[in-house]
Structure 1
Amino acid sequence: MGDPKKNRKKHDRPLHPWRKERIDAEKSLVKQYGLKNKREVWQMAAVLRSIRDQAKNLIAARGVQAERERGLLLSRLARLGLVSASAKLDDVLGLTLNNILDRRLQTVVVRKGLAKTMNQSRQFIVHTHIVVKDKTITRPSYLVPNTEEPLIVFSQASKLASVDHPVRAPPAGKSSAKVEVVKEEPKVKSA
């Protein structure tokens, strides 16, 4: 049986705490993607760093096991929608933090039109209004595979499942209902 696994941080803090360029870049990412704090940026940066480190090691490695691991890494990244199916390991080194942040559940919900803003999307996810493939996921940082992207919908138990709910965004591709104003021509009195 054994003891429970030790919980560890899933991110590394910046080496230098007060670099203006880094602070401004992180601030814009937090605002653009509706993140709670900069720790979420650091966590996604750690995910990207581990993928890139693995790719660098596999580029240098030789042998049957290295080939097998290359295929597994590329298939995993293709499944997540980070690279194309015919990508090479050099393409993995070209990934950016924005590529990772675009695959988060929070971002995909906004892109699908289920929420109007990133913050609203985050609230829908945390409050269990969103389900992915009949599973309730309450983690906005969940990286959505390509196969699960069309299966993101509102939960049937949620009040937001109703199309008439006032909080719901209008369906993607359709503009909100516009009120038509009909101008009446002034009546001319005949004398």
Structure 2
Amino acid sequence: MGYPGKNHKSYQTPKRPFEKTRIEEETRLAIEYGLRNKREVWKAQSHLRKYRKAARELLALMSSSKDQAIFDAKKTELISHMQRAGLLGPDADIDNVLALKVPAHLERRLQTLVYRKGLARSPKQARQLVTHGHIAIAGRRVTIPGYLVTRAEEAGITYDGKSPFVDTAHAERTRITKPAGPGAGVN
């Protein structure tokens, strides 16, 4: 155990630091989603790794447990948690948890959703708008680009009331056009 007030690393670095295909894939994701560095990709991988571990433990519990009710309760809890987070669809199962990929997690970040909703011209600008306090969720300003937005909060993403972007005649806002779909207009 350590000092509880100290922040601890929330990711694992790659075991092979100079693997060409992994580096290219991480670079592609960092550019596509406007990430600050590859550490954010590693955080997403670690986050999904925890969900996959829980799913594997559930499958092991199912094969060794005599009580089906405990398995069903834990399975329902895990899947409903991931559905609320927006990582899984309405008719998901344990296999869907195991099949999750990093882009599914990156799509739930506030920075990405701001760009997808057309509030910014690029993922990098979306990151800047969030960091500078121009974006609010349900009237509450959020300044963390990596904030994971739940399905319930997704509809409440707008410009903050005190932001100059609220004015539709703002010079930068007139240049912003809504992207056609996921991955569209990515530089």
**Does the pair score TM above 0.5?**
yes
Q: Aligned in 2, Cα 1:173/1:36: closer, same or farther, shift over 3 Å?
A: closer
CA distance in 2, matches of 1:30, 1:67: 37
Cα gap change, 1:44 to 1:173, in 2 (>3 Å): closer
Q: Tell me the residue number matched to 1:75.
A: 80
Please list the CA deviations of residues 28-62 of structure 1 after superposition, one character each: whole Å capped at 9, or x if unmatched: 11111100001111011100111111111112213
1:90 deviates by 0.9
Instruction: Find the partner of 1:113 among 115, 118, 122.
Output: 118
Partner amino acid, structure 1, of 2:163: S
Higher relative contact order (CA 8 A, sep 6+): 2
Q: Does 1:57 align with 2:21?
A: no
- Which residue of structure 2 aligns with residue 125 of structure 1? 130
AA matched with 2:9 = K
Task: Kindly indicate whether residue 90 of structure 2 is the aligned counterpart of residue 85 of structure 1.
Answer: yes
Mapping 1:39-188, distance limit 5 Å: 39-61=39-61, 62=65, 63=67, 64-168=69-173, 169-170=175-176, 172=178
Q: TM-score, normalised by structure 1?
A: 0.84
Q: Secondary structure at the match of 2:172?
A: coil
- What stretches of structure 1 of length at least 5 have no aligned partner? 175-191
Rounded Cα–Cα distance in structure 1 between residues aligned with 2:121 and 2:77: 36
CA-CA distance at 1:171 after TM superposition: 5.7
Alignment partners' CA distance in 2, 1:120 and 1:113: 11
SS in 1 for 2:158: strand
Q: Does 1:21 align with 2:21?
A: yes
Q: Which amino acid aligns with 2:22?
A: R
Q: Secondary structure at the match of 2:74?
A: helix
Output the CA distance in 2 between the equivalents of 1:170 and 1:7.
Answer: 37
Letter in 2 for 1:133: A
SS at match of 1:131: strand
Q: Secondary structure at the match of 1:167?
A: helix
> Shift of residue 152 of structure 1?
0.2
Sort the Cα spacing of 1:153 and 1:97 in 2 relative to 1 into closer, same or farther, 3 A: same
Deviations 1:107-140 (A, max 9, x none): 1001000001000000000001000112211111
What is the CA–CA distance in structure 1 between the aligned matches of 2:107 and 2:125, rounded to whole Å?
Answer: 16
Residue 9 of structure 1 corresponds to 9
- Code of the residue aligned with 2:19 in structure 1: it is R
Q: How far off its partner does 1:170 sit?
A: 4.2
